[in-house]
Structure 1
Amino acid sequence: MDKEGRYNGNKAGEAWAIALSEDGQYLGSTSYDGRINIWDVFANGAKIREFETKGSFGMAIDLSLDGRFTASGHENGSVYIFSNDTGRLLHSLPGLVNSVRSVAFSPGGKLLAAAGHSKVIALYDVSSGEQVANLLGHGAWILSLDWSDTGEFLLSGAFDGKLKVWSIDQRACVATHTETDMALWSVKWLPKIGRSEGFATAGANRSISLYREATGG
Protein backbone atom coordinates (compact mmCIF):
# COMPACT_ATOMS: atom_id res chain seq x y z
CA MET A 1 0.00 0.00 0.00
CA ASP A 2 1.39 3.41 -0.93
CA LYS A 3 1.15 6.67 1.03
CA GLU A 4 -2.23 7.48 -0.51
CA GLY A 5 -3.65 4.11 0.56
CA ARG A 6 -3.62 2.61 -2.94
CA TYR A 7 -2.84 -1.04 -3.59
CA ASN A 8 -0.16 -1.28 -6.25
CA GLY A 9 0.95 -4.27 -8.32
CA ASN A 10 4.06 -4.50 -10.44
CA LYS A 11 2.67 -2.65 -13.46
CA ALA A 12 0.38 0.34 -13.84
CA GLY A 13 -3.19 -0.51 -14.81
CA GLU A 14 -2.84 -4.23 -14.17
CA ALA A 15 -5.88 -4.51 -11.87
CA TRP A 16 -9.21 -5.06 -13.64
CA ALA A 17 -11.79 -6.60 -11.26
CA ILE A 18 -11.73 -6.49 -7.45
CA ALA A 19 -13.55 -8.22 -4.60
CA LEU A 20 -13.56 -7.81 -0.82
CA SER A 21 -14.21 -10.53 1.76
CA GLU A 22 -17.27 -10.15 4.00
CA ASP A 23 -15.24 -9.06 7.04
CA GLY A 24 -13.18 -6.61 4.98
CA GLN A 25 -9.87 -8.34 5.70
CA TYR A 26 -8.99 -9.69 2.26
CA LEU A 27 -8.97 -7.83 -1.05
CA GLY A 28 -8.57 -9.67 -4.32
CA SER A 29 -7.91 -8.42 -7.86
CA THR A 30 -7.46 -9.80 -11.35
CA SER A 31 -4.94 -8.66 -13.96
CA TYR A 32 -4.76 -8.43 -17.74
CA ASP A 33 -2.22 -11.28 -17.86
CA GLY A 34 -4.22 -13.72 -15.74
CA ARG A 35 -2.65 -13.25 -12.29
CA ILE A 36 -4.86 -13.18 -9.22
CA ASN A 37 -3.59 -11.13 -6.25
CA ILE A 38 -4.84 -11.28 -2.65
CA TRP A 39 -4.00 -8.64 -0.02
CA ASP A 40 -4.52 -8.64 3.74
CA VAL A 41 -6.09 -5.25 4.46
CA PHE A 42 -5.60 -5.70 8.22
CA ALA A 43 -1.85 -6.22 7.71
CA ASN A 44 -1.29 -2.83 6.08
CA GLY A 45 -2.19 -4.16 2.66
CA ALA A 46 0.45 -6.90 2.50
CA LYS A 47 0.15 -9.17 -0.53
CA ILE A 48 -0.36 -12.69 0.81
CA ARG A 49 -1.13 -14.65 -2.37
CA GLU A 50 -0.42 -14.41 -6.08
CA PHE A 51 -2.14 -17.10 -8.10
CA GLU A 52 -1.01 -17.88 -11.64
CA THR A 53 -3.39 -19.00 -14.39
CA LYS A 54 -2.86 -19.70 -18.09
CA GLY A 55 -2.41 -16.01 -18.82
CA SER A 56 -5.90 -15.10 -20.00
CA PHE A 57 -7.31 -11.68 -19.06
CA GLY A 58 -8.97 -11.92 -15.62
CA MET A 59 -12.43 -10.36 -16.05
CA ALA A 60 -14.16 -11.37 -12.80
CA ILE A 61 -13.31 -12.31 -9.21
CA ASP A 62 -15.09 -13.19 -5.99
CA LEU A 63 -14.06 -14.21 -2.47
CA SER A 64 -16.12 -16.60 -0.37
CA LEU A 65 -17.78 -14.97 2.65
CA ASP A 66 -15.36 -16.68 5.04
CA GLY A 67 -12.37 -15.55 2.97
CA ARG A 68 -11.13 -19.12 2.43
CA PHE A 69 -11.61 -19.31 -1.34
CA THR A 70 -11.06 -17.12 -4.39
CA ALA A 71 -12.77 -17.67 -7.73
CA SER A 72 -11.79 -16.01 -11.00
CA GLY A 73 -13.33 -15.84 -14.47
CA HIS A 74 -11.31 -15.17 -17.62
CA GLU A 75 -11.59 -13.92 -21.19
CA ASN A 76 -10.91 -17.39 -22.61
CA GLY A 77 -13.82 -18.92 -20.65
CA SER A 78 -11.71 -20.40 -17.87
CA VAL A 79 -12.99 -20.45 -14.28
CA TYR A 80 -10.69 -21.24 -11.34
CA ILE A 81 -11.13 -21.80 -7.61
CA PHE A 82 -8.11 -21.24 -5.33
CA SER A 83 -7.55 -21.90 -1.63
CA ASN A 84 -6.43 -18.77 0.17
CA ASP A 85 -5.32 -20.94 3.12
CA THR A 86 -2.88 -23.11 1.17
CA GLY A 87 -2.21 -20.93 -1.87
CA ARG A 88 -3.08 -23.81 -4.19
CA LEU A 89 -5.36 -24.18 -7.19
CA LEU A 90 -8.32 -26.32 -6.13
CA HIS A 91 -10.26 -26.59 -9.38
CA SER A 92 -10.04 -25.60 -13.03
CA LEU A 93 -13.72 -25.69 -13.91
CA PRO A 94 -15.31 -26.88 -17.17
CA GLY A 95 -18.46 -25.74 -18.93
CA LEU A 96 -17.94 -22.21 -20.31
CA VAL A 97 -16.17 -21.58 -23.62
CA ASN A 98 -16.60 -17.80 -23.94
CA SER A 99 -15.54 -14.84 -21.80
CA VAL A 100 -16.64 -14.99 -18.16
CA ARG A 101 -17.99 -11.66 -16.87
CA SER A 102 -19.09 -12.61 -13.35
CA VAL A 103 -18.37 -15.24 -10.69
CA ALA A 104 -20.17 -15.42 -7.33
CA PHE A 105 -19.97 -17.72 -4.31
CA SER A 106 -23.21 -18.66 -2.57
CA PRO A 107 -23.54 -17.34 1.02
CA GLY A 108 -22.62 -20.72 2.50
CA GLY A 109 -19.72 -21.17 0.09
CA LYS A 110 -21.09 -24.46 -1.27
CA LEU A 111 -21.84 -23.28 -4.79
CA LEU A 112 -20.14 -21.02 -7.32
CA ALA A 113 -22.09 -19.34 -10.12
CA ALA A 114 -20.29 -18.21 -13.28
CA ALA A 115 -21.62 -16.51 -16.40
CA GLY A 116 -20.70 -14.27 -19.31
CA HIS A 117 -20.72 -14.29 -23.10
CA SER A 118 -22.00 -17.88 -23.27
CA LYS A 119 -25.41 -16.58 -22.03
CA VAL A 120 -25.53 -19.51 -19.59
CA ILE A 121 -25.17 -19.50 -15.80
CA ALA A 122 -23.07 -22.47 -14.72
CA LEU A 123 -23.36 -23.71 -11.12
CA TYR A 124 -20.43 -25.60 -9.58
CA ASP A 125 -19.96 -27.53 -6.36
CA VAL A 126 -17.05 -25.78 -4.65
CA SER A 127 -15.75 -28.82 -2.76
CA SER A 128 -15.70 -31.22 -5.72
CA GLY A 129 -15.47 -28.83 -8.68
CA GLU A 130 -18.35 -30.68 -10.35
CA GLN A 131 -20.72 -28.70 -12.56
CA VAL A 132 -24.15 -29.34 -11.04
CA ALA A 133 -26.44 -27.21 -13.23
CA ASN A 134 -26.81 -24.87 -16.20
CA LEU A 135 -29.39 -22.08 -15.91
CA LEU A 136 -30.71 -21.24 -19.38
CA GLY A 137 -32.89 -18.35 -20.50
CA HIS A 138 -30.80 -15.26 -21.17
CA GLY A 139 -30.49 -14.16 -24.80
CA ALA A 140 -27.54 -11.82 -24.32
CA TRP A 141 -24.23 -11.61 -22.48
CA ILE A 142 -24.65 -11.97 -18.72
CA LEU A 143 -22.74 -9.18 -17.01
CA SER A 144 -23.55 -9.48 -13.30
CA LEU A 145 -24.57 -12.09 -10.71
CA ASP A 146 -25.55 -11.82 -7.05
CA TRP A 147 -26.90 -14.29 -4.47
CA SER A 148 -29.71 -13.49 -2.06
CA ASP A 149 -28.93 -13.44 1.66
CA THR A 150 -30.32 -16.95 2.17
CA GLY A 151 -28.87 -18.42 -1.03
CA GLU A 152 -32.39 -19.29 -2.16
CA PHE A 153 -32.29 -16.98 -5.17
CA LEU A 154 -29.69 -15.88 -7.71
CA LEU A 155 -29.94 -12.57 -9.55
CA SER A 156 -28.55 -12.02 -13.06
CA GLY A 157 -28.35 -8.97 -15.31
CA ALA A 158 -27.64 -9.01 -19.03
CA PHE A 159 -26.44 -6.83 -21.90
CA ASP A 160 -29.98 -6.57 -23.35
CA GLY A 161 -31.35 -4.98 -20.16
CA LYS A 162 -33.10 -8.12 -18.92
CA LEU A 163 -32.95 -9.04 -15.23
CA LYS A 164 -33.74 -12.56 -14.09
CA VAL A 165 -34.37 -14.08 -10.66
CA TRP A 166 -33.51 -17.77 -10.36
CA SER A 167 -34.73 -20.29 -7.78
CA ILE A 168 -31.77 -22.46 -6.85
CA ASP A 169 -33.99 -25.26 -5.50
CA GLN A 170 -36.04 -25.35 -8.71
CA ARG A 171 -33.05 -24.62 -10.98
CA ALA A 172 -35.40 -22.33 -12.88
CA CYS A 173 -36.12 -18.66 -13.59
CA VAL A 174 -39.00 -17.41 -11.42
CA ALA A 175 -39.12 -13.79 -12.65
CA THR A 176 -37.89 -11.67 -15.55
CA HIS A 177 -37.87 -7.86 -15.53
CA THR A 178 -37.03 -5.38 -18.28
CA GLU A 179 -36.68 -1.72 -17.36
CA THR A 180 -34.59 -0.85 -20.38
CA ASP A 181 -33.10 -2.40 -23.50
CA MET A 182 -29.67 -1.11 -22.47
CA ALA A 183 -27.00 -3.12 -20.65
CA LEU A 184 -27.36 -3.89 -16.94
CA TRP A 185 -23.82 -3.54 -15.63
CA SER A 186 -24.59 -4.46 -12.04
CA VAL A 187 -27.33 -6.22 -10.05
CA LYS A 188 -27.34 -6.37 -6.25
CA TRP A 189 -29.59 -7.67 -3.49
CA LEU A 190 -30.50 -5.11 -0.84
CA PRO A 191 -30.00 -5.87 2.89
CA LYS A 192 -32.76 -8.21 3.99
CA ILE A 193 -35.41 -6.64 6.25
CA GLY A 194 -37.79 -9.17 7.77
CA ARG A 195 -39.10 -11.40 5.00
CA SER A 196 -38.60 -8.78 2.29
CA GLU A 197 -35.92 -9.48 -0.33
CA GLY A 198 -35.44 -6.52 -2.64
CA PHE A 199 -32.71 -5.70 -5.11
CA ALA A 200 -31.26 -2.90 -7.22
CA THR A 201 -29.91 -2.63 -10.75
CA ALA A 202 -27.69 -0.11 -12.51
CA GLY A 203 -26.85 0.10 -16.17
CA ALA A 204 -26.15 1.96 -19.36
CA ASN A 205 -29.37 3.98 -19.10
CA ARG A 206 -27.69 5.94 -16.27
CA SER A 207 -30.35 5.10 -13.70
CA ILE A 208 -30.75 2.86 -10.64
CA SER A 209 -33.90 0.75 -10.39
CA LEU A 210 -35.19 -0.70 -7.10
CA TYR A 211 -37.34 -3.81 -6.72
CA ARG A 212 -39.19 -4.68 -3.52
CA GLU A 213 -39.56 -8.45 -3.82
CA ALA A 214 -37.63 -11.32 -5.39
CA THR A 215 -40.49 -12.21 -7.75
CA GLY A 216 -42.30 -8.88 -7.92
CA GLY A 217 -41.79 -5.33 -9.12
Structure 2
Amino acid sequence: VYDTVLYSNGHIAVSAVETNIVIWDIETRRILQTLQGHTDLVTSVVLSPDERLVVSGSDDETVIVWDLDTRAALRTLRAHTDAVNSVVVSPDGKTIFSGSEDKTIVMWNLDTGEAIRTFQGHTTGVTSLAITPDGRRLISGSRDGVLIAWRVDTLADLIKWTATNRYIHEFTCEERRSFNVVPLCEPIPATPQS
Protein backbone atom coordinates (compact mmCIF):
# COMPACT_ATOMS: atom_id res chain seq x y z
CA VAL A 1 0.00 0.00 0.00
CA TYR A 2 1.61 3.24 -1.18
CA ASP A 3 -1.04 5.79 -0.22
CA THR A 4 -4.48 5.85 1.41
CA VAL A 5 -7.22 8.45 1.80
CA LEU A 6 -10.28 8.21 4.00
CA TYR A 7 -13.82 9.29 3.19
CA SER A 8 -15.24 11.88 5.57
CA ASN A 9 -17.67 9.27 6.93
CA GLY A 10 -14.67 7.37 8.30
CA HIS A 11 -15.95 4.03 7.00
CA ILE A 12 -14.46 3.84 3.53
CA ALA A 13 -10.82 4.07 2.48
CA VAL A 14 -9.23 4.30 -0.95
CA SER A 15 -5.74 2.83 -1.27
CA ALA A 16 -3.03 2.57 -3.88
CA VAL A 17 -2.11 -1.13 -4.00
CA GLU A 18 0.39 -2.14 -6.65
CA THR A 19 -1.14 -1.13 -10.01
CA ASN A 20 -4.69 -0.79 -8.65
CA ILE A 21 -6.88 1.50 -6.57
CA VAL A 22 -8.70 -0.50 -3.90
CA ILE A 23 -11.84 0.78 -2.15
CA TRP A 24 -12.28 -0.74 1.32
CA ASP A 25 -15.03 -0.91 3.92
CA ILE A 26 -13.02 -0.36 7.08
CA GLU A 27 -15.62 -1.78 9.48
CA THR A 28 -16.14 -5.07 7.63
CA ARG A 29 -12.56 -5.18 6.26
CA ARG A 30 -13.97 -6.06 2.84
CA ILE A 31 -12.82 -4.87 -0.54
CA LEU A 32 -15.76 -3.10 -2.18
CA GLN A 33 -14.15 -2.43 -5.53
CA THR A 34 -10.82 -2.61 -7.34
CA LEU A 35 -10.16 0.00 -10.01
CA GLN A 36 -7.76 -1.06 -12.74
CA GLY A 37 -6.20 1.19 -15.36
CA HIS A 38 -2.61 1.96 -14.43
CA THR A 39 0.18 -0.16 -15.89
CA ASP A 40 2.73 0.43 -13.12
CA LEU A 41 2.72 1.13 -9.36
CA VAL A 42 0.10 3.59 -8.13
CA THR A 43 1.97 6.01 -5.87
CA SER A 44 -0.64 8.58 -4.87
CA VAL A 45 -4.42 8.83 -4.46
CA VAL A 46 -6.63 11.74 -3.44
CA LEU A 47 -10.38 12.33 -3.21
CA SER A 48 -12.07 15.35 -4.76
CA PRO A 49 -13.64 17.68 -2.16
CA ASP A 50 -17.13 16.34 -2.96
CA GLU A 51 -15.82 12.74 -2.66
CA ARG A 52 -17.27 11.80 -6.04
CA LEU A 53 -13.91 11.41 -7.78
CA VAL A 54 -10.58 9.76 -7.01
CA VAL A 55 -7.42 11.02 -8.68
CA SER A 56 -4.42 8.69 -8.85
CA GLY A 57 -0.81 9.12 -9.91
CA SER A 58 1.45 6.30 -11.02
CA ASP A 59 4.94 5.23 -12.00
CA ASP A 60 3.42 4.77 -15.48
CA GLU A 61 3.74 8.59 -15.86
CA THR A 62 -0.03 9.16 -15.87
CA VAL A 63 -2.75 10.66 -13.71
CA ILE A 64 -6.17 9.00 -13.86
CA VAL A 65 -9.47 10.61 -12.78
CA TRP A 66 -11.98 7.99 -11.56
CA ASP A 67 -15.74 8.34 -11.04
CA LEU A 68 -16.63 6.64 -7.74
CA ASP A 69 -20.30 6.17 -8.66
CA THR A 70 -19.60 4.25 -11.87
CA ARG A 71 -16.11 3.04 -10.81
CA ALA A 72 -14.89 4.02 -14.28
CA ALA A 73 -11.84 5.95 -15.41
CA LEU A 74 -13.13 9.28 -16.73
CA ARG A 75 -9.85 10.40 -18.25
CA THR A 76 -6.15 9.61 -18.30
CA LEU A 77 -3.88 12.65 -18.14
CA ARG A 78 -0.49 12.56 -19.86
CA ALA A 79 2.17 15.27 -19.71
CA HIS A 80 4.88 13.91 -17.42
CA THR A 81 7.97 12.12 -18.72
CA ASP A 82 8.65 10.14 -15.54
CA ALA A 83 6.80 8.63 -12.57
CA VAL A 84 4.05 10.68 -10.89
CA ASN A 85 4.76 10.74 -7.13
CA SER A 86 2.03 13.00 -5.74
CA VAL A 87 -1.40 14.34 -6.69
CA VAL A 88 -3.65 16.91 -5.01
CA VAL A 89 -7.01 18.46 -5.90
CA SER A 90 -7.75 22.12 -5.25
CA PRO A 91 -10.30 22.94 -2.52
CA ASP A 92 -12.80 24.15 -5.15
CA GLY A 93 -12.53 20.81 -6.98
CA LYS A 94 -11.62 22.42 -10.30
CA THR A 95 -7.88 21.77 -10.52
CA ILE A 96 -5.50 18.83 -10.14
CA PHE A 97 -1.78 19.20 -9.46
CA SER A 98 0.63 16.34 -10.11
CA GLY A 99 4.29 16.18 -9.06
CA SER A 100 6.72 13.94 -10.88
CA GLU A 101 10.20 12.46 -10.97
CA ASP A 102 10.64 14.60 -14.12
CA LYS A 103 11.13 17.58 -11.71
CA THR A 104 7.88 19.27 -12.74
CA ILE A 105 4.42 19.92 -11.38
CA VAL A 106 1.56 20.00 -13.87
CA MET A 107 -1.64 21.96 -13.20
CA TRP A 108 -4.68 20.29 -14.84
CA ASN A 109 -8.28 21.33 -15.46
CA LEU A 110 -10.20 18.57 -13.66
CA ASP A 111 -13.27 18.82 -15.92
CA THR A 112 -11.47 18.72 -19.28
CA GLY A 113 -8.18 17.01 -18.42
CA GLU A 114 -6.27 19.81 -20.14
CA ALA A 115 -2.77 20.59 -18.86
CA ILE A 116 -2.99 24.28 -17.95
CA ARG A 117 0.52 25.09 -16.76
CA THR A 118 3.79 23.48 -15.72
CA PHE A 119 5.73 24.52 -12.62
CA GLN A 120 9.52 24.15 -12.82
CA GLY A 121 12.01 24.89 -10.06
CA HIS A 122 13.17 21.66 -8.46
CA THR A 123 16.44 19.99 -9.42
CA THR A 124 15.26 16.45 -8.62
CA GLY A 125 11.94 14.61 -8.57
CA VAL A 126 8.94 16.23 -6.87
CA THR A 127 7.90 13.90 -4.04
CA SER A 128 5.09 15.71 -2.26
CA LEU A 129 2.43 18.36 -2.82
CA ALA A 130 0.04 20.24 -0.54
CA ILE A 131 -2.38 23.05 -1.27
CA THR A 132 -3.55 25.74 1.12
CA PRO A 133 -7.23 25.70 2.17
CA ASP A 134 -7.91 28.84 0.10
CA GLY A 135 -6.35 27.19 -2.98
CA ARG A 136 -4.04 30.13 -3.69
CA ARG A 137 -0.74 28.49 -2.80
CA LEU A 138 0.79 25.14 -3.66
CA ILE A 139 3.67 23.72 -1.63
CA SER A 140 6.02 21.26 -3.32
CA GLY A 141 8.74 19.13 -1.79
CA SER A 142 11.53 17.34 -3.58
CA ARG A 143 14.44 14.98 -3.13
CA ASP A 144 16.65 18.06 -3.62
CA GLY A 145 15.81 19.08 -0.03
CA VAL A 146 13.82 22.11 -1.16
CA LEU A 147 10.26 23.18 -0.36
CA ILE A 148 8.75 25.73 -2.74
CA ALA A 149 5.58 27.73 -2.06
CA TRP A 150 3.99 28.70 -5.39
CA ARG A 151 1.28 31.27 -6.11
CA VAL A 152 -1.11 29.21 -8.18
CA ASP A 153 -2.48 32.18 -10.14
CA THR A 154 0.94 33.47 -11.27
CA LEU A 155 3.16 30.39 -10.78
CA ALA A 156 5.69 32.57 -8.97
CA ASP A 157 7.78 30.80 -6.40
CA LEU A 158 6.97 32.84 -3.32
CA ILE A 159 9.29 31.16 -0.91
CA LYS A 160 12.09 28.74 -1.57
CA TRP A 161 13.33 27.01 1.54
CA THR A 162 16.43 24.89 1.15
CA ALA A 163 17.43 22.47 3.87
CA THR A 164 21.13 23.08 3.29
CA ASN A 165 20.76 26.88 3.46
CA ARG A 166 18.28 27.22 6.28
CA TYR A 167 20.43 29.52 8.39
CA ILE A 168 20.11 33.22 7.71
CA HIS A 169 23.41 34.97 7.32
CA GLU A 170 24.06 38.58 8.24
CA PHE A 171 23.66 40.91 5.27
CA THR A 172 26.79 42.39 3.75
CA CYS A 173 26.95 46.16 3.29
CA GLU A 174 26.17 45.72 -0.40
CA GLU A 175 23.09 43.57 0.41
CA ARG A 176 21.93 46.12 3.00
CA ARG A 177 22.07 48.90 0.38
CA SER A 178 20.53 46.70 -2.30
CA PHE A 179 17.55 45.64 -0.12
CA ASN A 180 17.39 48.95 1.77
CA VAL A 181 17.95 47.25 5.11
CA VAL A 182 18.32 49.72 7.96
CA PRO A 183 20.79 50.58 9.33
CA LEU A 184 22.70 51.02 6.12
CA CYS A 185 26.44 50.58 6.38
CA GLU A 186 28.62 53.62 6.79
CA PRO A 187 30.25 54.67 3.55
CA ILE A 188 33.84 53.56 3.24
CA PRO A 189 36.15 56.59 3.11
CA ALA A 190 38.05 57.13 -0.13
CA THR A 191 41.34 57.72 1.68
CA PRO A 192 42.51 56.11 4.89
CA GLN A 193 42.18 58.26 7.98
CA SER A 194 44.95 58.45 10.55
Q: TM class by shorter-chain length?
A: 0.7 to 0.9
| 1:166-177 equivalent positions in 2, closer than 5 A | 166-177=150-161
The aligned residue for residue 90 of structure 1 is 74
1:70-92 C-alpha deviation (Å, 9 max, x unpaired) = 11111121110101111111110
Kindly state the Cα deviation for residue 54 of structure 1 after the two structures are TM-superposed. Answer: 3.8
Distance 1:128 1:27 in 2: 26
Say if 2:129 is the partner of 1:145: yes
Closer, same or farther: CA 40–68 of 1 in aligned 2, 3 Å:
farther
1:154-165 → structure 2 map (5 Å cutoff): 154-165=138-149
After TM superposition, give the deviation of residue 140 of structure 1 in Å.
Answer: 1.1
2:13 to 27, 35, 47: 27
Q: After TM superposition, where is structure 1 displaced by more than 4 Å over at least 4 residues in a row? A: none
The amino acid of 1:138's aligned partner reads: H
Match of 1:69 among 30, 49, 53: 53
**Does the aligned pair in 2 maintain the 1:124–1:131 contact within 8 Å?**
yes
Contact in 1 for aligned 2:37/2:73 (Cα 8 Å):
no
Give the TM-score, by structure 1 length: 0.71
Whole-Å separation in 1 of the counterparts to 2:50 and 2:11: 10
Query: Which of the two has higher C-alpha Rg?
Result: 2
* Residue of structure 2 in register with 1:100 after alignment: 84
Q: How many angstroms does 1:46 deviate by?
A: 4.0
Q: Secondary structure at the match of 1:97?
A: coil
Q: Normalising by structure 2, what TM-score?
A: 0.79
The equivalent residue for 1:125 is 109
Q: Which amino acid aligns with 1:16?
A: Y
Q: Which runs of 5+ in 2 are unaligned?
A: 166-194
Equivalences, count: 165
**Aligned match of 1:36:** 21
Secondary structure of 1:86's aligned partner: coil
Counterpart of 1:143 in structure 2: which amino acid? T
Match of 1:17 in 2: 3
Unaligned 5+ segments in structure 1 are 1-14, 182-217
- Is 1:47 the counterpart of 2:52 in the alignment? no
Q: Distance in 2 between matches of 1:136 and 1:149?
A: 23
Q: Which residue of 1 aligns with 2:181?
A: none
**TM-superposed deviation, 1:20:** 2.0
Aligned partner (choices 111, 125, 147) of residue 95 of structure 2: 111
Instruction: Work out the CA distance in 1 between the residues paired with 2:8 and 2:31.
Output: 18
Contact 1:21 1:64 in 2 (8 A): no
Alpha-carbon deviation of 1:169? 1.1
C-alpha distance in structure 2 between counterparts of 1:130 and 1:176, whole Å: 28
